[in-house]
């Protein structure tokens, strides 16, 4: 056994039972625990706000910035007050040039490059009224959206209007395909800053969902474009704007039919290092045929199909290709075609050179390239499924070198050369540490934060972690349990199962307090046990683990959750007659599914923003996991909760944002109608003006409501 694995085994044995936390006298309120609460941020572990200027470590505070030295001392480089009375705060601050003493600052009125050695502004640009801004350091041009039109403002501060037909139906320069496929923005600058690739989304053919704004004397219709599974979707094209010529062309992509096409979804846009070629993945509507295609950015011509991946269930491209900084002929491609997300190196003609990473673990992120050692810095769960660790992968020999301590959950920000990392991490008993890692081997601690709950004398519950077998009897599943600080094994406690269970999320990690949500602490303080289990279908466990739910969402997940219930019932201190369940979004769907399929098990449930029938969910997500209602009628029928409304026995509260544009209100209202017809009695609460999640202080109100429902109908003795 290697030293790292020995350390990990010791770590897991030490913390797989109980984190011994001394109960204190001070009690929490939701103002302390909830992110919308007025004392929440005061009770977070201390943090440092650091960034890089080339390979130099810099700090950022509200009113100043400067060098952060390894010994913890600081040297002030600039203060916002130097820029004048308009600069009370900066919404952006970064150091875009490794070799120049310039900091980019933006106060949403003006964008400036400030020379912090000469203490003078060297360049400025208007930024007022911009949305979806995307600034390029090479050309100093910014792409932005204003009044639905796409603009580029050049370095000379001249605004160029690229479009004239932008509207709620024709969308430019913004996220398309409803945030799926790893899409986080709608504009993409070439490396030299001369050309801008951008999305154009025509959704005029998509049906409106009738959202209503009640905050007027007469309520007003404010509809959303919402493509539901199996129905007409939008059409996306990709434009290229050339700053020097002032002209726009569109890539000659396959013309999609809105119902069926070999290339409907265009995603993960990337540029060649010479700024002449655009690469993107093209995915058919059935999402089982994915192709990497290159286009000539000067003509828009389709050049070459470099890669194809098919799957009997679905292919999900989430990451653009990345060229190796030291070799313009080679690029990294991420795929889980061998069962786990791994890195592959291809040349620009599309020929596979090697699989760079391999094994029963997931590469979660490419952090950076270490150009000095010709390595790729990644984040992966190679040490343990619950840990996220940092590694250097040698491109030549594929050797993986662990860079951190092999425990906990780590996130890194790399310097310009990739040879230095800011490593911010936590462990189940470590609130936060920040280390400076040199990839050559040296690590310096910059911050070790204490537990502010303990420092402020709060009563802290007990956090536990363990494993159990999935319903298949083979697969390990990981759970978290939160118990009252004064837990007595001789007593019996009402227990709430908190669940999400869906794709692209997990609830149990080896971070502080096992990644526990603060509401669980509030419930434990009230005398409840809270239990959380990551079932099959959740993330970071490989393709088979995720895809087992294909065409039958909720079914395998419920089987696994019931294995968790079986475990709970085996514990003498769990009151099996007082089991509740709570979840939001996919977790709301799971909550109601469990209440209706196991009506004699769960006495109380609170479901937030729940999917009720997948035929009312959006095209991209819904069809990936369920196919269409036309091709999978049995799956849609089996997973629908409408026809199970008659099975409701326990107390169920459903909560929704009135203007939810993710899980539209039709889900909740249709279920209520079914319950009325069936004679069952759920409770319903709505937040006017709110979308899928409650914002700001309304979240405090929400979690108080959730808590009270359990106190009313699943009381502690």
Q: Which residues pair with 60 in a beta bridge?
A: 65
Phi, psi torsion values for 701, nearest 5 degrees: -60, -45
Q: What is the largest CA-CA distance in the chain?
A: 78
Helix or strand (DSSP H, E) at 123: strand 120-126
Catalytic residue, from 660, 667, 699, 703: name it.
660
Sign of CA dihedral 342, 343, 348, 353: negative
277 closest CA partner among 253, 251, 308: 251
Active-site residue (options: 77, 127, 585, 699): 585
Is position 585 annotated as part of the catalytic site? yes
First to last CA, the chain: 49
Distance CA 145, CA 525 (A): 47
Q: In what order do the strands lie in the sheet with 64-68?
A: 50-53, 56-60, 64-68, 74-79
* 8 Å CB contact between 681 and 595: no
Residue 276: closest CA among 197, 175, 331 = 197
Q: DSSP label at 38? A: T
Q: Which of 504, 692, 697, 701 is catalytic?
A: 692
Pairing of strands 389-394, 420-427: unpaired
Calpha distance 422→650 (Å, rounded)? 49
Per the CB < 8 A criterion, the answer to whether 456 and 26 are in contact is yes
261/298 Cα distance (integer angstroms): 26
Closest CA to 587 of 658, 526, 501: 501
CB 142 within 8 A of CB 111: yes
- Residue 713 belongs to what H/E stretch? helix 698-713
Within 13 Å of residue 219, how many CA atoms lie on the same side as its CB? 10
DSSP letter for 642, please: G
Q: Which of 651, 685, 498 is nearest to 588 (CA)?
A: 498
DSSP 3-18: HHHHHHHHHHHHHSSB
- Told to judge if 190 belongs to the known catalytic residues of this protein, a careful annotator would answer no
What element of type H or E holds 453?
A: helix 452-455
Buried b / exposed e over 406-441, threshold 16 CB at 10 Å, is bbbbbbbebbbbbbbbbbbbbbbbbbbbbbbbebee
3-state secondary structure of 246: coil
State the DSSP code for 377.
Answer: E
Q: How far, CA to CA in Å, does 588 sit from each of 501, 584, 610, 647, 711?
A: 10, 4, 4, 17, 19
What totals of helices (H) and strands (E) does the chain contain, helices first? 11, 45
Pairing state between β 102-106 and 110-115 = antiparallel
Which residue from 517, 665, 673, 586 is spatially nearest to 210, judged by alpha carbons?
665
Q: How far is CA 473 from CA 493, 507, 567, in A?
A: 28, 21, 13
Q: Check the CA dihedral 310-228-180-637 and report its sign.
A: negative
Cβ atoms of 179 and 194 closer than 8 Å:
no
Is residue 660 part of the annotated active site? The answer reads yes
b/e burial code for range 458-478 (CB count within 10 A of at least 16 → b): bbbbbbbbbbbebbeeebebb
Answer for the pair 671, 592: CB distance below 8 angstroms, yes or no. Answer: yes
How far is it, in rounded angstroms, from Cα 219 to Cα 697?
24
Which residues carry out catalysis?
585, 660, 692
């Amino acid at each position: 056994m290697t030293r790292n694995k020995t350390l990990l085994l010791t770590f897991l044995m030490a913390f797989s039972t109980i984190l011994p936390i001394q109960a204190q006298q001070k009690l929490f309120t939701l103002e302390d625990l909830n992110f919308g609460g007025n004392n929440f941020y005061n009770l977070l572990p201390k943090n440092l706000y650091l960034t890089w200027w080339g390979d130099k470590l810099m700090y950022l505070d509200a009113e100043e910035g400067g060098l952060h030295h390894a010994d913890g001392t600081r040297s002030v480089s600039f203060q916002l007050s130097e820029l004048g009375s308009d600069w009370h705060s900066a919404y952006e601050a970064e150091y875009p040039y490794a070799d120049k003493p310039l900091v980019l600052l933006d106060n949403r009125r003006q964008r400036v490059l400030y020379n912090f050695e000469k203490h003078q502004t060297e360049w400025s640009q208007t930024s007022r009224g911009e949305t979806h801004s995307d600034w390029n350091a090479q050309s100093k041009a910014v792409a932005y959206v204003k009044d639905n039109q796409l603009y580029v403002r050049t370095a000379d501060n001249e605004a160029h209007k690229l479009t004239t037909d932008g509207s709620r139906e024709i969308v430019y320069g913004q996220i398309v395909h409803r945030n799926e496929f790893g899409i986080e923005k709608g504009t993409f600058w070439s490396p030299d800053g001369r050309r801008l690739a951008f999305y154009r989304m025509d959704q005029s053919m998509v049906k409106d969902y009738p959202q209503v704004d009640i905050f007027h004397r007469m309520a007003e219709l404010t509809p959303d474009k919402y493509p539901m599974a199996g129905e007409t979707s939008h059409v996306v094209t990709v434009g290229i704007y050339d700053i020097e010529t002032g002209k726009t062309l569109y890539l000659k992509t396959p013309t999609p039919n809105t119902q069926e096409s070999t290339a409907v979804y265009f995603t993960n846009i990337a540029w060649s290092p010479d700024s002449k070629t655009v690469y993107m993945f093209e995915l058919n509507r059935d999402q089982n045929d994915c192709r990497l295609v290159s286009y000539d950015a000067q003509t828009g011509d389709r050049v070459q199909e470099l890669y194809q991946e098919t799957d009997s269930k679905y292919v999900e491209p989430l990451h653009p290709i990345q060229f190796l900084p030291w070799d313009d002929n080679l690029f990294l491609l991420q795929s889980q075609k061998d069962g786990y997300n791994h890195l592959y190196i291809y040349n620009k003609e599309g020929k596979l050179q090697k699989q760079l990473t391999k094994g029963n673990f997931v590469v979660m992120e490419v952090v950076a390239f270490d150009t000095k050692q010709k390595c790729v810095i990644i984040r992966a769960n190679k040490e343990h499924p619950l840990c996220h660790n940092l590694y250097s992968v040698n491109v030549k020999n594929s050797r993986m070198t662990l860079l951190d301590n092999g425990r906990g959950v780590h996130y890194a920000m790399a310097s310009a050369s990739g040879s230095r990392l800011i490593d911010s991490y936590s462990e189940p008993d470590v609130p936060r540490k920040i280390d400076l890692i040199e990839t050559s081997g040296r690590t310096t601690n910059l911050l070790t934060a204490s537990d502010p709950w303990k420092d402020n004398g709060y009563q802290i519950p007990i956090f536990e972690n363990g494993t159990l077998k999935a319903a298949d009897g083979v697969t390990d599943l990981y759970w978290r349990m939160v118990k009252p600080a004064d837990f007595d094994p001789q007593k019996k406690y009402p227990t709430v199962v908190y669940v999400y269970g869906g794709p692209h999320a997990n609830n149990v990690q080896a971070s502080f307090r096992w990644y526990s949500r603060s509401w669980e602490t509030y419930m434990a303080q009230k005398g409840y046990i809270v239990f959380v289990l990551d079932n099959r279908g959740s993330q970071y466990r490989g393709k088979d683990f995720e895809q087992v739910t294909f065409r039958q969402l909720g079914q395998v997940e419920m089987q696994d959750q019931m294995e968790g219930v079986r475990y709970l019932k085996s514990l003498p201190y769990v009151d099996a007659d007082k089991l509740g369940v709570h979840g939001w979004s996919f977790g709301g769907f799971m909550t109601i599914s469990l209440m209706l399929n196991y009506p004699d098990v769960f006495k109380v449930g609170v479901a937030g923003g729940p999917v009720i029938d997948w035929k009312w969910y959006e095209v991209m997500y819904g069809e990936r996991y369920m196919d269409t209602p036309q091709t999978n009628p049995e799956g849609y029928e089996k997973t629908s909760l409408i026809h199970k409304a008659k099975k409701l026995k326990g107390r169920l509260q459903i909560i929704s944002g009135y203007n939810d544009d993710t899980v539209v209100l039709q889900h909740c209202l249709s279920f209520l109608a079914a319950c009325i017809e069936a004679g069952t009695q759920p409770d319903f609460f709505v937040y006017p003006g709110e979308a899928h999640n409650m914002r700001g202080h309304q979240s405090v109100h929400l979690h108080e409501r959730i808590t009270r429902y359990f106190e009313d109908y699943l009381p502690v003795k």
